[in-house]
Amino acid sequence: MIPPGTTVRVRDDWPETREKVHIRTPHYLRGRTGRVLRHLGNFPNPEDLAFARPARTLPLYHVLFDQPPLWEEGSPGDEVLVEIYEPWLMLERDGIADAPPSRSRSLSDRVIQTSGAGVPANSFAVGVPSGQVRWGAPGFPDPASGHHALP
Amino acid sequence: MNLLALEPERLLGAVRALLAAKGIASPAEIAERIAATDAASPAQGARMVAIAWTDPEFRALMLADGTRAAESLAIPMRGAPPLGVLENTPDLHHLVVCTLCSCYPRAVLGYPPFWYKSAAYRARAVRDPRGLIAEWGTTLPPATKIRVVDSTADYRWMVLPLRPAGTENWPADRLATLVRETDMIGVTLVATPGDHALNSFASPRPQA
């Protein structure tokens, strides 16, 4: 279990570019650093339930992010609070300290401009640059393989 | 050929009979679920808010376990995802959105308003929350921070708004008449009595 107050980083991973998926981790948080507010309980993994596959029960956390850095706009002090499943979270010992800045690409690389009105695409967006390298410690387990990042 | 379009009543009857025959859902259970869905409306959430304003014990329960608090008022929660309640304070204002789809605490607020599911609301709530609520006529003191709650997974979230000034001696049933669905989503603040003209989006339609 990740204790409240722990700094975590959301995996900068884009499974939707590799296969058909159902993901509950918003794209705008991939690679971003936040802080665990509390453990919300354990739930069957919706990424499996959506395809009627056997679903592992996973810890779900409320994770708090500073809002202005997400879009490079907004009011200092404002926050975004999001439910995130444990396999999507990385701890410091998994390589946060050595990671490059999360703001490594422009927003326009991350989303599809659906209407030209600046509306980000939904979670099934595929606007991910090619050649993307997932940061983190070498040999870090791939979420697609089902290995847990945490004990 | 579309069976659903041609003979919907017969199809529904067949599905109901199969559900009963296979022991999946009895007619009574289906009737119960229909009644619960019909009864769900913002009035349920408003009742919870008003009681929380007047009963510290209920308030504590509601903040700790929204589902149990709702059930204690005979609001049907069976089968609904857990309900989380977000307490607004003078320093912290909550705004609820579901950027991925349309997760909404239907058991206590009913069907979501049409704009809640719009791409514009979902995108702007996380990107420009102050600009968004300003279009509802909502301005927060600069010292009040906004916490946008993106409802992404297995919880459903509602806001416990601040009780307006000038309602000190009001009973809960009268207080409940002040609370709108927009207050419990967080795009508006509960208006002070007599001040509704300044913040009067009782029917949820934001300014253009």
Pairing of strands B145-150, A33-44: unpaired
Residue B169: burial class (beta carbons within 10 Å; 0-12, 13-18, 19+):
exposed
Residue B119 forms part of a structural domain: yes
- pLDDT of residue A25 exceeding 50, the answer is yes
- CATH assignment at residue B93: 3.90.330.10
Q: Are residues B82 and B136 in the same domain?
A: yes
How far is residue A77's CA from residue B145's CA, in Å, rounded to a whole number?
A: 6
- Closest-CA residue to A34 (of A2, A87, A80): A80
Residue B153 forms part of a structural domain: yes
Give the domain extent around B143. 41-198
**Cβ–Cβ gap A26/B153 under 8 Å:** no
Q: Are residues B181 and B106 in the same domain?
A: yes
Nearest 5 degrees, angle CA B77-CA A64-CA A19?
80
Q: Are residues B124 and B77 in the same domain?
A: yes
Buried (b) or exposed (e) across B91-101, using 16+ Cβ within 10 A?
eebbbbbbbbe
- Closest-CA residue to A66 (of B146, B123, B151): B146
- pLDDT of residue A100 exceeding 50, the answer is no
Residue B204 forms part of a structural domain: no
Residue B204: pLDDT band (50, 70, 90) is: very low
- Closest-CA residue to B81 (of B110, B107, B42): B107
How far is residue B184's CA from residue B197's CA, in Å, rounded to a whole number?
A: 19
ipTM score assigned to the predicted complex: 0.87
Nearest 5 degrees, angle CA A54-CA A57-CA A62?
135
H-helix or E-strand containing B170? none
Residue written as token pair 């991910």:
A128
End-to-end C-alpha distance for chain A, whole angstroms = 8
**Cβ–Cβ gap B99/A26 under 8 Å:** yes
Which stretches of chain B sit within 8 Å of chain A by CB?
82, 84, 99-101, 119-120, 123, 126-130, 145-155
The more confident residue out of B169 and A101 is B169
**Cβ–Cβ gap B150/A82 under 8 Å:** yes
Chain B: give the shortest CA distance to residue A86, in Å. Answer: 12
Q: Are residues B124 and B25 in the same domain?
A: no
How far is residue A1's CA from residue A95's CA, in Å, rounded to a whole number?
A: 18
Q: Which fold has domain A7-145?
A: SH3 type barrels. (2.30.30)
Q: Which amino acid is at A107?
A: L
Chain B: give the shortest CA distance to residue A23, in Å. Answer: 9
How far is residue A72's CA from residue A9's CA, in Å, rounded to a whole number?
A: 18
How far is residue A93's CA from residue A100's CA, in Å, rounded to a whole number?
A: 15
- Closest-CA residue to B191 (of B136, B144, B146, B112): B136
Q: Are residues B171 and B111 in the same domain?
A: yes
Q: Are residues B82 and B15 in the same domain?
A: no
Residue B1 forms part of a structural domain: no
**Phi, psi of B97, deg, nearest 5:** -150, 160
Q: Are residues B57 and B101 in the same domain?
A: yes
Q: Dump pLDDT digits (tens) for B129-184.
A: 999 999 999 999 989 999 999 999 899 999 999 999 999 999 999 999 999 999 99
Do B108 and B48 contact (CB within 8 A), yes or no? Answer: yes
Residue B134 forms part of a structural domain: yes
The average confidence (pLDDT) of chain B is 91
Q: Are residues B22 and B122 in the same domain?
A: no
Residue A147: CA count within 13 A, CB half-sphere: 7
Q: Are residues B99 and B164 in the same domain?
A: yes
Q: Are residues B25 and B60 in the same domain?
A: no
Nearest 5 degrees, angle CA B186-CA B79-CA B118?
35
- pLDDT of residue A103 exceeding 60, the answer is no
- In this prediction, residue A147 carries a pLDDT of 37
How far is residue B131's CA from residue B95's CA, in Å, rounded to a whole number?
A: 12
Q: Dump pLDDT digits (tens) for B61-77.
A: 999 999 999 999 999 99
Q: Are residues B90 and B23 in the same domain?
A: no
- Closest-CA residue to A28 (of A71, A58, A59): A71
Q: Are residues B16 and B82 in the same domain?
A: no
Domain tally, chain B: 2
Residue spans per domain, chain A? 7-145
- Closest-CA residue to A80 (of B142, B1, B98): B98
List the single residue in A with minimal CA-CA distance to B150.
A82
**Cβ–Cβ gap B148/A43 under 8 Å:** no
